[in-house]
Amino acid sequence: MLKQTLIFATIILLTSCGQSKQPTNKHSTKEALIEENVAKETPKEENKVDNALIFINGYTENANKLNESLTMIEWVELHKGLTTQSFRLALKKIIDDAYQEDPELGLGFDPVFDAQDYPDKGFEVDSFDEQTNHLTVRGKDWPDFKVTMRVVKENEQWLVDGCGVVNMP
C-alpha cells in the first residue's frame, strides 16, 4: 500500500511540474498583453513620426489579437504616453456617443483606422508635412490603405493628437 501511494504521488508530482501557468481570466490576459507591448512602446524625442508609428503599429497588433485584444479605449488609455489627453477624450466621446445612439451596434467601424478593415501587417510612413505635423501612413501589406495622423509636441515628446477620424478635421 505504501509503495502504491509513493508511485501515485510521484506521478502527480511529475505531471504537475511540466504544466505552465496560463492566464485564467480576461484580466490576466490583458495584463500579459500590456507587459508584452509596453517595453517596445517607449516614447521617443528624436523623430516626429517615431511615436506615431509606434502608436499605429501597436494599435494594429492589438486589433489583430481578436478575442484577447483590449478595447480601443483600454488600449489607448494603457498607452497614454503615445497620445495626448485631447486624443483620448475625443476617442472616448466618439465611442460613447455611438453606443448611446445605437447600444447594440455602437460605431460600426474603427475610428482610429477610419475603416472596418485594416492592414494586418501594420503601417509605414507614406508622407510627412513638417509645417502642419500631419503624416500619412500606408499599409505595409495594403499600400493603397492610408491613414492620416497629426502629432504635437507636449512635455518634450511628440504625441499623436489625431488619427483617422479622431481629432482630425
- Reported as a pLDDT band with limits 50, 70 and 90, residue 46 is low
Cα separation, 59 vs 82, whole angstroms: 11
The β-bridge partners of 150 are 134, 162
Sign of CA dihedral 90, 91, 97, 100: negative
Higher pLDDT, 143 or 24: 143
Q: What is the DSSP letter of 118?
A: -
* Average model confidence (pLDDT) across the chain: 81
What architecture does CATH give domain 29-163? Roll (3.10)
Domain boundaries, the chain: 29-163
Length of the chain: 169
Q: What is the pLDDT of residue 30?
A: 47
Q: What is the pLDDT of residue 69?
A: 83
pLDDT per position as a tens digit, 73-92: 999 999 999 999 999 999 99
Q: What is the pLDDT of residue 68?
A: 82
Cα separation, 46 vs 31, whole angstroms: 29
Q: Where are the beta strands (DSSP E) in the chain?
A: 123-129, 134-139, 146-154, 157-163
CB neighbours (10 Å) of residue 93? 11
* pLDDT of 28 strictly over 70: no
> Which residue from 76, 95, 46 is spatially nearest to 160, judged by alpha carbons?
76
- Of the chain, the percentage scoring pLDDT greater than 70 comes to 73
Mean pLDDT value of segment 132-141: 97
Cα separation, 165 vs 33, whole angstroms: 26
Residue with cell 509596453: 38
Please tell me the pTM assigned to this model. Answer: 0.72
Q: What is the DSSP letter of 115?
A: B
pLDDT per position as a tens digit, 95-132: 999 999 998 888 889 999 999 999 999 999 999 999 99
- Reported as a pLDDT band with limits 50, 70 and 90, residue 11 is low
Cα separation, 91 vs 162, whole angstroms: 10
* pLDDT of 20 strictly over 50: no
Mean pLDDT value of segment 42-47: 52
